[in-house]
Amino acid sequence: MNIIILGQGAIGLLWYRALQQLGNDKVNVKIFPSSAAPAASQTFTFTEFSGLSEQRPLITADKTALSECDHLLVCVKSYQVKQALKPVLPHLNTGSSIILSHNGMGTLAELPEQVIDKHAILTLLTTHGCLRVKPRHIRHTGRGFSDIGLVSGQLAVKQQTELTNLLNLALPQVEWTNNIVEKQWRKLAVNSVINPLTALHQLKNGQILKDKFTAQITAILTEVSQVAKSQGIELNLRELEQVVTGVAQATSNNISSMRCDVLGGKKTEIDYISGYIHRLGEEQHIATPENTRLWQQVSAL
């Protein structure tokens, strides 16, 4: 199976390393280059939970590799997806699937119609924790699980099974799901709480569980569930609160990706999290004052 990863951030390199470890007899994995540096000169560093680090070669994909690609795994920020795909699409095998792995929702609507017509589009949701220590150096900070499913187009059951089994072998636990959109909404709900609150108040994930945030968290999730219902997705408020609590506790010492972006002076994905809820709320005439406020406040940073 030929897999090309687009994006050299934490999650992109995490999957690259995991797949590369399987060996060429199982998968041929490459990275689409983001620089003009020759492939032979590129390496990256991976640090495990134990603290042990290793250097691995970074094998880049050329136009020929793109034409032979079975699956393109896109691991860039939500606001980068459309632009990142531009140099890839003219050379990409028309039979290949495009797998989107990012926070937030709304990128599918930004893709050109011809892309959606030619390729099966999948979503990969993961709870693995991974930190970009510096360019081409990542640290795996937390084991998690991943869900993958189809959001547009068709993919044969055999291909679904083969892809899921390979990803599960590389970085378990990975499961195929037919209700991936519902799971996207559940992850969006978690992100709508943890990301903006930690970014605005400079907190670690677990610190949002302080009593002073309880009412605000309920308000955020109430709005998310109301907007989700307008899209045909039923989310239980109490269950969402429990999920947010569980994630915050499990990643209590972690720094959210949005807080990392703010600390690094980088653009955040707030437009695709709180901003997505705001825009859908406006379309459906549903008031979302809490998410709108968070969207505006983080955008102002």
What is the rounded distance in angstroms from the CA atom of residue 186 to the CA atom of residue 166? 25
N- to C-terminal Cα distance for the chain?
43
Cβ neighbourhood burial of 136 (10 Å; 0-12, 13-18, 19+): middle
Between β-strands 97-100 and 28-32, what pairing exists: parallel, antiparallel or unpaired?
Answer: unpaired
Identify the active-site residue in 63, 77, 187, 229: 187
Query: 275: Cβ–Cβ under 8 A, 6 or more apart, which residues?
Result: 295, 299
CA 106 to each of CA 41, 100, 222, 233, 283: distance values in angstroms, whole numbers, following the listed order: 36, 11, 20, 15, 14
Between β-strands 43-47 and 53-57, what pairing exists: parallel, antiparallel or unpaired?
Answer: antiparallel
**187 catalytically annotated:** yes
- Known catalytic residues? 187
